Structure 1
Amino acid sequence: MIQLGNFLLMDRDEFREWLSKQVVTRPIQFLQVHHTASPNYSTRKMVNGIAQQDTFKCLEGMRNYHLSEGWAATGQNITTFENGQIAISLDRPLNKIPAGIRGFNNKCICIEHVGNFDSGGDKITDEQKKTIIHLYACLAERFNLPINIDHIVYHSWFTRTGIRLSDYTPGESSKTCPGTNFWGDGNTVAAAQKNFLPQIQKELDQLKSKNKTTVSEDDQPMTKEEKADFQALQEQVKQLTSKLSLDKIPDWAMEACVAAKNAEVVDTTSGGSYDFYRLITVLYRKGFFK
């Protein structure tokens, strides 16, 4: 996890723990899905699947563009990259309403996925896919959101004024975002329901299963036979204990016990075992309590 300038950059496996520690006071009901279009894999100068552009430079470039548009800060709360890393906008923290979908930002978290996922554009990497699925599952878990098209929303399902459409509609939708080939399926409601949302649900289910305490065989309730054996064992212990503890002090040990108590070697001599009285008597006869 690295903080530099206006951003915090982390690996995928650091996000859930980081998120659990955040105090978010505004209500969260929606998770937006965007692609950046630009920057993209080409502007990131990918060579053998590795971006040559510095990630913080990319982030600050987006921020500067947003500021030039008159925005108060970076538009999105969170950004994902082709290598699976996640960036948090420190100037647009989770407690701050994003600038993602005009007219539909209240109660939202805006997540931008770096890349151009329109047809003919970038093919999303496996690492970025894994991160995106994990990220939305963690957010859904943290804010107790159902995994459906009412709570995880594509930008392409809205008009320029933030009116929700029934689906991506060319000519009416504000943008193609998150891309007409996003996830390899497209930006429609049917595309989201086909693979994207089910994969998030699967990841969420796995996260929840990890939270449950695994019950070992030793923690299983006892059977009737085991209870009977246990009660028999308790009775045996009770009988052995009673045999070890004598009801009264033996006559041959009485003088020794009185001497030991008078010498303040013991507080009481009642209820002792045979071996106890034998030891006290031997010590007394050796002159220890005189």
Structure 2
Amino acid sequence: MKTKYGFKLFSIQEFENYIKNIKVGRTVLYIQQHHTYSPNYDLCNDINQLELQKGMKNHHVNTNGWSDIGQHFSTFPDGSIATGRSIENSPACIYGFNANAICIENVGNFDTGNDVMTRLQKETIVKMTALLCAKFNIPVSSDRIVYHHWFNLASGERNNGAGGNKSCPGTAFFGGNKVADCESNFLPLVQNVKNQIPTPTPISILEYRIITANKLNVRSLPSYTSEKALDRDAIPLGSVLRIFEEKNGWYKISSSSSHWIAGRHTEKVTRATVTADTLNIRNGSGSNFSIVGSLAKGTEIFITEEKNGWCKIGLETKWVKDTFVTKT
């Protein structure tokens, strides 16, 4: 492993150990696949991966005005993997579809006629996707493993590439960037690898709660006087956490470690699934309010408030009709 500019560079074997042991508070439901387009293979060599990662962060912060690099991980032609933004933070990679997601940027231009993906990068992309699915109990399906090409750039609506979309992760990415290409060429490879990864015993979740503080410290015991947990960062605003135990207004957020958060800085949320083919998101709790986006069938959401037959999603002013969601 190599460390530079605040990033870590792993081989796929090192990444497997890293992702197995890392503690993550927020609930992860989706994996995004992207390509960088630029930098492409012309700029890559065997020693400059973290320089390229730093360059991407500089662009995202200084040009785009984001708070950090957009992606959680980047893969490179030699099969190595660089860390990016904290895994506790949502990515800045698909407008309208970043909550509860992990973003993978695959370095290269994988549109037809450009970079031909190396065998090592292919193997890394497949295996790390399988490892993330195993880590976060994500089904290997096109509902949960998504391509940027499937989302309209202006509205965030999932339209599966019907118009107003990037080509990302590339028209030649594992045989194509359409949903059918993903289901035929990419997902079976991921499933085959995931089948070889030991599946942990399912653990009962008491409930879900969303963080309402800007950042919430994780403590080793259910008390403000206890020490902060040393092996995980504070959890940011809007993160949805799995709760395994409650004690005197404190919530245990790990099934294997003594990690607790203060309940006063959280709200209970309800997990639900979209049942309509396309569900409009409005900026208020009524059909007279403006449409600000839409959700595709099968999308998972977290409801923070219900009013007059409408459900508020997360902490933003976004509402959907309750007759088109099923609580899970």
Q: Secondary structure at the match of 2:103?
A: strand
Aligned residue among 136, 144, 147 for 2:140: 147
Match of 2:171 in 1: 180
Are positions 1:75 and 2:70 aligned together? yes
Structure 1's unaligned 5+ residue stretches are 45-50, 213-290
Distance in 2, Cα, partners of 1:34 & 1:205: 24
Distance in 1, Cα, partners of 2:73 & 2:91: 10
Offset of 1:149 from its aligned partner? 0.3
Q: Secondary structure at the match of 1:83?
A: coil
Distance in 2, Cα, partners of 1:18 & 1:63: 22
- Report matched runs for 1:27-42 at 5 Å: 27-42=27-42
Structure 2's unaligned 5+ residue stretches are 202-328
| 1:61-118, Cα deviation, whole Å (9 max, x unpaired) | 11100012101000000110000001111xx111111101011100000100000000
Offset of 1:3 from its aligned partner? 1.4
Match of 2:15 in 1: 15
Residues 33 and 146 of structure 2 are in contact (CA less than 8 Å); yes or no, is this contact kept in structure 1? yes
Q: Secondary structure at the match of 1:32?
A: strand
Residues 74 and 106 of structure 2 are in contact (CA less than 8 Å); yes or no, is this contact kept in structure 1? yes
Distance in 2, Cα, partners of 1:53 & 1:201: 31
Offset of 1:53 from its aligned partner? 5.9
Are positions 1:84 and 2:79 aligned together? yes
Q: Secondary structure at the match of 2:3?
A: strand
Distance in 2, Cα, partners of 1:203 & 1:79: 20
Aligned residue among 192, 197, 206 for 1:207: 197
| 1:98-146, Cα deviation, whole Å (9 max, x unpaired) | 1010111000001000000001110000000000011000000000010
Amino acid at match of 1:114: V
Offset of 1:6 from its aligned partner? 2.2
Amino acid at match of 1:193: E
Residues 33 and 145 of structure 2 are in contact (CA less than 8 Å); yes or no, is this contact kept in structure 1? yes
Residues 25 and 88 of structure 2 are in contact (CA less than 8 Å); yes or no, is this contact kept in structure 1? yes
Aligned residue among 198, 206, 211 for 2:188: 198
Distance in 2, Cα, partners of 1:16 & 1:37: 26
Higher-RCO chain (CA-CA 8 Å, sequence separation at least 6): 1
Distance in 2, Cα, partners of 1:80 & 1:11: 10
Distance in 1, Cα, partners of 2:99 & 2:170: 23
Distance in 2, Cα, partners of 1:116 & 1:136: 19
Amino acid at match of 1:151: R
- Report matched runs for 1:213-252 at 5 Å: none
Residues 152 and 161 of structure 2 are in contact (CA less than 8 Å); yes or no, is this contact kept in structure 1? no
Amino acid at match of 1:189: V
- Report matched runs for 1:52-71 at 5 Å: 54-68=48-62, 69-71=64-66
Are positions 1:158 and 2:151 aligned together? yes
Distance in 1, Cα, partners of 2:33 & 2:139: 15
Q: Which runs of 4+ in 1 moved over 3 A?
A: none
- Report matched runs for 1:93-172 at 5 Å: 93-160=86-153, 161-165=155-159, 167-169=160-162, 171-172=163-164
Q: Name the structure where strand makes up a greater proportion of residues.
A: 2
User: How many percent identity over aligned positions?
Assistant: 41
Q: Report the TM-score when normalising by structure 1.
A: 0.66
| 1:140-174, Cα deviation, whole Å (9 max, x unpaired) | 00000100000000000001121111x222x332x
Distance in 1, Cα, partners of 2:72 & 2:168: 17
Rg larger in 1 or in 2? Answer: 1
